[in-house]
Chain A
């Protein structure tokens, strides 16, 4: 009996040790005293350093609040936040992809920022179209826009001069005309796509510019099989098949532009600093412009990161107060100035803060123009599950010879099925 009792005690001790490591927090709110917050920033160490600087400034005004900002990577950030939400341990604040707020919010992992006062401040000052992308169908906002990512057309003026092209193309027709002239002038890749190459992201630009959309206004059905969508896909596909845009995701667009092989790039705003740092010769002469417009205008895709509070956090209000502070011009300036030292541009969600960017006037002007028309991804149910399948449907049309009508009908079916789930 004594042996059995000892064995039982040993077993209980081992179980206690194991379970002790899995302590689950109840999410009870801390109401007073010093507060320590942890923020997981999905992005680069440079970003983290800049946000930490703003956090330190915040601490100067709020001595009881200490914020530690840590980097998590894009490759595994999503999984890490999921694991934290499951274990109810980890960061109080997270930044991540635009859809992450809706995704984690629906699972109960994040707090509706409307209840914490963030939305009241943030919505009035930030880019308006993005709110449609980050608001759940029930009206909750689990992630507020932290920064934005926009499509920019980059071009090499020397190659334009060589091909006798006066300026950046403003329409689809001017784009294909410029590609033809550049090709004739011996440019190897007149046009390359960097952000979302061969995926729905780049297609979204052409779709909106043709007057189509992924879903109808109320998210009741997919509209990706509309005639405008077909026209957009035909044009998108021809950019690869007829006009020779590289389709490899790893294609070195900046290196290619540096070698004079790539004349135009449709890419993310990060290339504003990426191209000059990779190709110093283009630092003073890199051309930037909004993407060429289609028949229905120049709308392009707007991405970025959201920032939100995890539902297990014991300091939700303190976390929300810090998030609200990040919309303050002083905080935005601190982050932007810190990033500028390493050559990066911080595109705050506040359009009125673009003027303070340490960038050439034409860059600021281009970004302001893009902010005026750009739109985020749909927040319709099932889109997250549909997007990769839509990619495959688009690729079938572009590279397997499937008719755009048929490929888009398949995509619409997938989207409608997921809409109903």
Chain B
């Protein structure tokens, strides 16, 4: 162990606000004196973060290269879990469904949230009430919401969706067992539930744009559309990037809706013909339905890479990275 002694001849620049070093005190002791309290206060968080975040992450990365079924020790199999995934028809279906869902729900949620935010950005009683109403799904239990949706899309005549389409003379629809409707139904639910959150962020972004820009534009004869496209949208770019990226991450992780609404029986996940199978439900199916925990870990890492890559691409495209920093 090396023991450095702080020179006392004044040759070292003390830098900004150094602690009053005691003559002859070791550098290590001085550092401890300066940072010890902070480190001790951080320690509980650091321990919990290490145990519950870092360790599981590293362990799941290791498990993704093993054949691990939960009880017997894992057996190293290299990349086999990853290579087998891409030959797996169900995984490909889950990927396709997830990408369709993400594209549909994130695009529509962002557009709708912006529209609602622009319509109800004021401080009047009406605007505030409408914003609260739109935000309610974000603070309601996902389980409760999905159970209600399941009821709404019930195939019987009393299902609210069937009653609604019945008003237009449309015959009863088996919403949840018609494969072509599965992803659109999930997108509809996702958009309904996500508008409120995006709206709140957009309202904050809109209200941060100085009114003078619009006044100046109006004086120059800019139309409302020109004001929107030349002022609002560019200045909302960082906010939009945030809404889109958080939306992407959330959409890729869709689970409860598939698990609850398209539940057919224990051990069968993903709806009729896997029409609603998504990546996370498939991960659950492989990990906790069939106990392929190594394979499930590989799916989790594939999902992480997909989200990371898409988020990076989005940030680059919108050039929002610079704006955000």
Contacts and interface: CB of A to CB of B under 8 A. Distances in A.
Interface of A: 3, 10, 14, 18, 74-79, 82-83, 85-86, 97, 103-104, 107-109, 196-199, 246-252, 255-256, 384-385, 387-389, 391-392, 395-396, 399-400
Interface stretch (B214-222, B286-294, B303-311): B286-294
A387 B267 CA distance: 9
Interface of B: 28-29, 32, 36, 43, 47, 51, 69-72, 89-90, 150, 154-156, 174-177, 179, 263-269, 272-274, 285, 288-291
Contact of A18 (B51, B155, B268): B51
Contacts of B264: 197-199, 249
Given A75-B266, A108-B72, A250 B176 contact: yes
A268 B136 CA distance: 40
Q: In terms of DSSP, what is the predominant structure of the interface of chain B?
A: helix
Nearest to A82: B70
Given A3-B28, A14-B47, A83-B70, 9 more contacts: A82-B70, A86-B70, A109-B70, A247-B177, A249-B272, A250-B154, A255-B156, A392-B274, A399-B179
Contact of A396 (B51, B150, B273): B273
B268 A388 contact: yes
B156 A252 contact: yes
A14 B291 CA distance: 31
Contacts of A250: 150, 154-155, 176
A111 B150 CA distance: 40
A248 B153 CA distance: 11
Contact of A108 (B71, B263, B272, B289): B71
B265 A86 contact: no
A105 to B, nearest CB: 10
B272 A256 contact: no
B265 A199 contact: yes
10 closest residue pairs by CB, A with B: A79-B288, A248-B177, A249-B264, A248-B155, A107-B71, A395-B273, A74-B266, A248-B174, A247-B177, A82-B70
Contacts of A85: 70-71
B290 to A, nearest CB: 6
Given A108-B72, A388-B267, A392-B273, A198 B154 contact: no
A82 B272 CA distance: 27
Nearest to B262: A249
Q: In terms of DSSP, what is the predominant structure of the interface of chain A?
A: helix
A395 B272 contact: yes
Contacts of B288: 76, 78-79, 82
A14 B48 CA distance: 10
Contacts of A18: 51
A143 B72 CA distance: 19
Nearest to A197: B264
Most chain B Cβ neighbours within 10 Å, of A76, A252, A392, A399: A392
19 contacts: A3-B29, A10-B43, A79-B288, A82-B288, A82-B291, A83-B70, A86-B70, A109-B70, A109-B71, A198-B264, A249-B263, A255-B156, A388-B268, A388-B269, A388-B285, A389-B90, A391-B268, A395-B272, A400-B273
B18 to A, nearest CB: 19
A329 B241 CA distance: 68
Contacts, number: 94
B177 A249 contact: yes
A385 B273 contact: no
Most chain A Cβ neighbours within 10 Å, of B28, B69, B175: B69
A252 B29 CA distance: 73
A399 B272 contact: yes
Contacts of A395: 272-273
Nearest to A11: B47
Given A82-B291, A107-B291, A248-B177, A199 B71 contact: no
A361 B272 CA distance: 38
B156 A256 contact: yes
Nearest to B292: A385
Contacts of B156: 251-252, 255-256
B155 A103 contact: no
Contacts of B36: 3
Contacts of B90: 388-389, 392
Contacts of A392: 90, 273-274
Contacts of A103: 291
A198 B177 contact: yes
A78 B174 CA distance: 30
Contacts of B285: 388
Contacts of A256: 156
A80 B267 CA distance: 14
Nearest to B51: A18
Contacts of A76: 288
Most chain B Cβ neighbours within 10 Å, of A78, A255, A256, A396: A78
Contacts of B291: 82, 103, 107
Nearest to A86: B70
Contact of B32 (A3, A86, A247): A3
Contacts of A399: 179, 272-273
A396 B275 CA distance: 11
A251 B174 CA distance: 9
A199 B266 contact: no
Nearest to A255: B156
Contacts of A248: 155, 174-177
Contacts of A10: 43
Contacts of B155: 246, 248, 250-251
Contacts of A83: 70
A251 B175 CA distance: 11
Contacts of A246: 155, 174
A256 B47 CA distance: 56
Given A3-B29, A18-B51, A392-B273, A107 B69 contact: yes
A106 B47 CA distance: 36
Given A86-B70, A389-B90, A252 B154 contact: yes
Contacts of B32: 3
B39 to A, nearest CB: 9
Nearest to B290: A385
B176 A199 contact: no
Given A14-B47, A249-B177, A395-B273, A78 B266 contact: yes
A255 B151 CA distance: 14
B49 to A, nearest CB: 13
A10 B40 CA distance: 11
